[in-house]
Amino acid sequence: MPASLLRRRLDLVEQGVVDIRGDDYVFVEDQLFSSPSTAGAVVLGGSINGRIFLEDRDGPDLSAVRG
């Protein structure tokens, strides 16, 4: 994981936005990101297409929701 993403993830833990549960990082509060890919990279730990990787609460990926 790149150092910048690790620092971002650890900052979210320190802020109480993310909780560490065993080996999992769980968002316990909403968090805004500059893009879906940035959000996905923080979650996954590397480069990812957030529009395909992330889903909304009803299941479809963001590309389907966005249209």
* pLDDT at residue 44 in the model: 83
**Alpha helices of 1-67 — where are they, by DSSP H?**
3-14, 36-44, 50-53, 62-66
> For the whole model, what pTM was predicted?
0.70
pLDDT tens string, the chain, 67 residues long: the values are: 889 989 999 999 999 998 998 988 888 899 998 888 888 888 888 888 877 777 666 766 666 656 5
**Helix, strand or coil, per DSSP, at residue 46:** coil
